[in-house]
Structure 1
Amino acid sequence: MALNYLEGPFVFRLNENGAGPHLLVQVCTERGWREYTGDNMTLKDRWNLWWRSGGFPSNHYKTLLPWQFTNHIPKGSSICRKDNLVRHLKCMKKIYGSIYDFSPLGYNLPLEYTKLAADCSRYEKDDRVWICKPVGQSQGRGIFLFRKLSDLTYDNMAVVQRYIKNPLLIGGYKFDLRLYVCVPSYKPLTIYLYKEGLVRFATEKFSLDNLDNPFRHLTNCSLNKLGPGYSEKKERVGAGCKWTLRQLRRYLEQSGYSDWFLWQRIACLVSLTILSQAAGIPRSSNCFEFFGFDVLIDENLKPWLIEVNVSPALGNDCEVDSEVKKPLLHDMFDLLGLPVCNTGLSLFTIWATSEEEAEDERSSRCYPSKESKRRCKMGRESIALINVCPEPQTMFRQGIPDACGDVWSRYNPLSVDRVMRRGFKGNNSTPPPFVWDNGKDWRNPVTREGGWIRTYPLTHSKPTETTEFIHHSGSPLLSETPRIAEKEIKTTVMCIYKYLKAAKDVHGKLGHLGDDPCNEFLQGSLGLNTEVWLPEK
């Protein structure tokens, strides 16, 4: 008997073994989704979102069905390997110059050992400190600091970088930022940066006198929560090792720092880093990438990129984690167009067919959590609510008007059987023109979804041959040729350069007046049609 996909809820799948972060499971459950069990071969493809900590095999994307989405883009996490990140940024800096001067000088070992040895000898009198990071490890494992080349030991591939000796300190403690980034599309390039994030502290006071104490120099939470100072109330920091970005901004304001331009530099740093790998990303659909950017701020308020993490930790170690990550995940799923499902407590379906109905829907939508209820006050695109009930076919025919069109039905699991009857063989075979990823047209991306702010593109541009993926015949357009890709990257870098230059000028003239005048003047001077990304105070 043929499987009827009209019956059943939106199903999420975690890794290969079904294990995943508790917070992610909680958010998916709050949205009315069901967890994949995989105990029935007939239902082995009955999942809608597959979330994996690592990447998917390249052939996996070719077999995606119209109702299936994954949390990784093919070749989209190259910058998450420490050696690749060093290589990408070196290449971009060589081409585009000082705009890429936001990552500490680095060397890939063993390939660049000779260059490292020469520089160690050159800077020996400066008492320069270096940090060594194994390529294949995370959470601070295997990292150590050294001054002399004779102290460097490594077994496998590693990255050695100049250590930032003058970090901005709070109460004498070093910290870095964990920023959350979502890339729903590379062609056209679309980047969102979340307005809230984590500030992660070391748990012993910073000092260069002892390079062997990881609790002074490393900010990884998985490491510091094991340290003796984790539970103590630390000067200005308090107990634990995490703040929110909101707490940091309030501290900076109270301490007399003018930080508006700092956050604009960080937003541009994120876009430039993602751009460094964009040329190697193939056309894809029904997938997205979720990054964790680690950024250090020095005493001059200059941001430094430390590393990029694929599938950043979604653990719930403390109250700050839940405060930041739960609304972040809800907002990201809304941004991607993934549904909020009826959990069965009541029978309803929402599908706005006019602007008035859309506004009514936005004002009346409710979510299980406090964070989500608070987000209902913000403007957003309407979300189709999937109704799980004994007779879904009848409900579906009555609840979805013809005005919704084929695009919505292709990406909604409730209408899959209707699509399949028309002969649709999968999302990657013959996708329709002008439609990418989760049924959305990313040539015209929303400015904001909850706390996610679009940081690129900065303005909407008219569609041209260089921004389209598919010709009506199904063949790739010129944008996939190296020459056009190079031109697009150069144009993007120049756009970000103009943004940075204008932001610096605005900060010099209006920085003392606060955030709002700076935001308004920058938007007006550049003709931006997106918000200026800035964590709230």
Structure 2
Amino acid sequence: MNHANRALRYWLGEKSDPEHTRFFVDALNARGWVAGDAEHWDTAWLTPMPEPRVYAQLGPDQRINHIPGNNQLTVKSALHQTLRAAAQRWRNLPGQDGTQAGPAFMPATFNMPDDFAALQTAARAMPESAWIVKPANAARGEGIYLTDSVDRVPQQPGWVVQRYLDQPHTLDGVKYVLRLYVLISSLDPLRIERFAEGSVKLASAPYDPAERDNVYAVLTNPDVSARNPASSVTFLSLHTYAQRLRAMGHDPDALMARLDDLIVQTVIAAVDGMRKRCADEHVAPDRVYELLGLDCLIDSALKPWLLECNLSPSLEICANEATGGREERVMKKALVDDLLVRVGIIPEPSQAGTRFKRLFPTPESSRYWPMLVSPSLADQPAAQRALGKDFSPVFVPWQVVEHYGERGLALEHTATGQVFNPNPTAAWIWLQAVSGMPADAIAKQLVATAAAASTPTLAQAREAVWHALGEWARNGLLRQTPVNTRL
């Protein structure tokens, strides 16, 4: 950041929530930062999404805490669609335990009104199931209720219906949901991190599957629990939760590994859409980052289920001093302090002391690379460092029929009927790709076979090849294979 002869400035936006901003402000004030305004700031910490004009005016030395396109994760109806589309792409990819990859960690979900017929079919197949009805874009437990009859759910847009998981794991007979803090510290190249701590959101009444109308037993949101006159909101840390699981004879490390797998798959499912939105809005991906609050229910078999991803997760201290409020405050302050280091807003000689755990890329993340619609050139060095070998994506045809005519090659998307007409160079790239040639090998061959007068540099050829392959993959004509070739 270029800040010669002046203090660095932060901006909180016009609709900031003091509970969401105070740890951010405290951390920066302690380091000599000062409050700025909409026209003069170096970093912004906004509670809601910024107006388009904010992204349009984003300068090279500014950082902001929201990524365009994050609604693919943070809007309940869009999250379901994002994961469903990913499941189609990930067919035949290996999962964590050797089974097929795919987000089998989200309860059956239906967007109203488009999925109403499918919901009715599911309800007939599971007559004993209850269904939880949620506003598609609300928070803090607002508007959520249970029903035994899908015929009574709203059929207008803006509602999501989800199969109710009625066999949760409990602590002292109380239902709970884990709140995990996930940081997309870099979009391109992609970096996904999880804060080492988190919280256990406890319901405020004992769980009884027969008492579906008791919101204090069924819902775990602190805002709902706070309304229960017979109980207080209690903070329980992820660390303490792990200790309790171990005392019960369970393996918390195995559970966290499954949760980390869930996190990486969820974020990867939305990465390409976020990158495309950044490109469409001319937002440099190195100027944005995102902190998400993932809510995961753990069932009686210790299987984690993703319920939702929250934009600007609450940093409010919900517990009082007697029920863990001090520990909650320490955890949330550390979360923000460490985040500011991880994204480079607060420079530190070493980031090793932060409590964020890198989930992707890592040396163990090789199976995730084919899940990306199309890795970017910026991803390649990170992939090679993580894998310890050269990395170049390989693609196979998907949802496409090739047509040859007087105008050359035409590509028809089998699902939409859309036709793509690549120019001769792009058509040549296509033919090499569908023959199984890795992206960088295609680029080298392009340089070797080009006419002398128009020979591109290798860098230009790589840019052209990776871009073309990425566009075809984004349009559903190509799909990555698990084969990553050493060049």
TM-score (norm 1): 0.63
Residue 216 of structure 1 is matched in structure 2 by 217
Q: CA deviation at 1:476?
A: 6.0
Give matches, 1:192-211, under 5 Å: 192-211=193-212
Q: CA deviation at 1:121?
A: 2.0
Residue 82 of structure 2 is matched in structure 1 by 88
Residue 359 of structure 2 is matched in structure 1 by 455
Aligned CA distance change for structure 1 residues 213 and 182 (closer, same or farther; 3 Å) = same
| CA–CA separation in structure 1 for the residues paired with 2:120 and 2:151 | 10
| CA–CA separation in structure 1 for the residues paired with 2:88 and 2:59 | 41
**Residue number among 92, 105, 109 corresponding to 1:106 in the alignment:** 109
| CA–CA separation in structure 2 for the residues paired with 1:70 and 1:474 | 33
Aligned CA distance change for structure 1 residues 19 and 130 (closer, same or farther; 3 Å) = closer
| CA–CA separation in structure 1 for the residues paired with 2:251 and 2:286 | 41
**Residue number among 247, 252, 256 corresponding to 1:254 in the alignment:** 247
Q: Determine helix, strand or coil for the equivalent of 2:328.
A: helix
Is the 1:224–1:241 Cα contact (8 Å) retained in structure 2? no
Q: CA deviation at 1:12?
A: 1.2
Is the 1:176–1:295 Cα contact (8 Å) retained in structure 2? yes
Letter in 2 for 1:269: L
Is the 1:176–1:296 Cα contact (8 Å) retained in structure 2? yes
| CA–CA separation in structure 2 for the residues paired with 1:66 and 1:279 | 22
Letter in 1 for 2:144: I
1:358-404, CA deviations, whole angstroms, 9 ceiling, x for partnerless residues?
Answer: xxx85xxxxxxxxxxxxxxxxx24xxxxxxxxxxxxxxxxxxxxxxx
- Structure 1 residue runs of 5 or longer lacking an equivalent are 39-43, 232-239, 341-360, 363-379, 382-447, 496-537
Is the 2:17–2:47 Cα contact (8 Å) retained in structure 1? no
| CA–CA separation in structure 2 for the residues paired with 1:206 and 1:113 | 29
| CA–CA separation in structure 2 for the residues paired with 1:275 and 1:299 | 28
**Residue number among 314, 324, 328 corresponding to 1:321 in the alignment:** 328
Give matches, 1:174-323, under 5 Å: 174-231=175-232, 240-282=233-275, 283=279, 284-317=285-318, 318-323=325-330
Aligned CA distance change for structure 1 residues 117 and 159 (closer, same or farther; 3 Å) = same
Q: Determine helix, strand or coil for the equivalent of 2:340.
A: helix
Is the 1:465–1:478 Cα contact (8 Å) retained in structure 2? no
Which structure has the higher relative contact order (CA within 8 Å, separation 6+)? 1
Is the 1:478–1:484 Cα contact (8 Å) retained in structure 2? no
Aligned CA distance change for structure 1 residues 23 and 491 (closer, same or farther; 3 Å) = farther
| CA–CA separation in structure 2 for the residues paired with 1:132 and 1:189 | 34
Q: Determine helix, strand or coil for the equivalent of 1:142.
A: coil
Does structure 1 residue 332 correspond to structure 2 residue 333? no
Residue 282 of structure 2 is matched in structure 1 by none
Is the 1:202–1:241 Cα contact (8 Å) retained in structure 2? no
Aligned length: 370
1:6-56, CA deviations, whole angstroms, 9 ceiling, x for partnerless residues?
Answer: 2322211112255532333223323332222x3xxxxx5321111112222
| CA–CA separation in structure 2 for the residues paired with 1:454 and 1:80 | 21
Across the aligned residues of Structure 1 and Structure 2, the Cα RMSD in angstroms comes to 2.9
Q: CA deviation at 1:118?
A: 1.8
| CA–CA separation in structure 2 for the residues paired with 1:476 and 1:139 | 45
| CA–CA separation in structure 2 for the residues paired with 1:150 and 1:484 | 39
Residue 415 of structure 2 is matched in structure 1 by none
Is the 1:225–1:241 Cα contact (8 Å) retained in structure 2? no
Aligned CA distance change for structure 1 residues 223 and 476 (closer, same or farther; 3 Å) = farther
Aligned CA distance change for structure 1 residues 472 and 310 (closer, same or farther; 3 Å) = farther
Query: Alignment identity in percent?
Result: 25
| CA–CA separation in structure 2 for the residues paired with 1:186 and 1:5 | 25
Residue 4 of structure 2 is matched in structure 1 by 6
Q: Determine helix, strand or coil for the equivalent of 1:270.
A: helix
Q: CA deviation at 1:229?
A: 3.1
Q: Determine helix, strand or coil for the equivalent of 1:277.
A: helix
Q: CA deviation at 1:169?
A: 0.4
Q: CA deviation at 1:279?
A: 1.8
Is the 2:66–2:289 Cα contact (8 Å) retained in structure 1? yes
Is the 1:315–1:321 Cα contact (8 Å) retained in structure 2? no
| CA–CA separation in structure 2 for the residues paired with 1:488 and 1:230 | 54
1:91-128, CA deviations, whole angstroms, 9 ceiling, x for partnerless residues?
Answer: 2223335532100011101111111112212222xx11
Query: Which moved further from structure 2: 209-218 or 454-463?
Result: 454-463
Q: CA deviation at 1:328?
A: 1.1
| CA–CA separation in structure 1 for the residues paired with 2:62 and 2:392 | 28
Letter in 2 for 1:453: K
Residue 46 of structure 1 is matched in structure 2 by 40
Q: CA deviation at 1:479?
A: 3.9
Aligned CA distance change for structure 1 residues 320 and 223 (closer, same or farther; 3 Å) = farther
- Structure 2 residue runs of 5 or longer lacking an equivalent are 92-99, 280-284, 319-324, 364-381, 385-389, 394-438, 441-457
Is the 1:465–1:477 Cα contact (8 Å) retained in structure 2? no
1:222-253, CA deviations, whole angstroms, 9 ceiling, x for partnerless residues?
Answer: 2211212333xxxxxxxx32200011011111
Aligned CA distance change for structure 1 residues 160 and 30 (closer, same or farther; 3 Å) = same
| CA–CA separation in structure 1 for the residues paired with 2:466 and 2:48 | 29
Residue 163 of structure 1 is matched in structure 2 by 164
Is the 2:112–2:154 Cα contact (8 Å) retained in structure 1? no
Letter in 2 for 1:291: L
| CA–CA separation in structure 1 for the residues paired with 2:53 and 2:459 | 25
Letter in 1 for 2:345: L
Does structure 1 residue 120 correspond to structure 2 residue 85? no
Is the 1:190–1:456 Cα contact (8 Å) retained in structure 2? yes
| CA–CA separation in structure 2 for the residues paired with 1:241 and 1:110 | 37
Aligned CA distance change for structure 1 residues 473 and 253 (closer, same or farther; 3 Å) = same
| CA–CA separation in structure 1 for the residues paired with 2:135 and 2:253 | 35
Aligned CA distance change for structure 1 residues 474 and 216 (closer, same or farther; 3 Å) = farther
TM-score (norm 2): 0.70
| CA–CA separation in structure 1 for the residues paired with 2:186 and 2:239 | 28
| CA–CA separation in structure 2 for the residues paired with 1:156 and 1:303 | 29
Aligned CA distance change for structure 1 residues 489 and 85 (closer, same or farther; 3 Å) = farther
Q: Determine helix, strand or coil for the equivalent of 1:141.
A: coil
Query: Which moved further from structure 2: 15-24 or 213-222?
Result: 15-24
Letter in 1 for 2:31: R
| CA–CA separation in structure 2 for the residues paired with 1:320 and 1:490 | 45
Q: Determine helix, strand or coil for the equivalent of 1:179.
A: strand
Does structure 1 residue 142 correspond to structure 2 residue 143? yes
Letter in 2 for 1:482: E
| CA–CA separation in structure 2 for the residues paired with 1:134 and 1:14 | 27
Q: CA deviation at 1:311?
A: 1.0
Is the 2:107–2:165 Cα contact (8 Å) retained in structure 1? yes
Q: CA deviation at 1:338?
A: 1.2
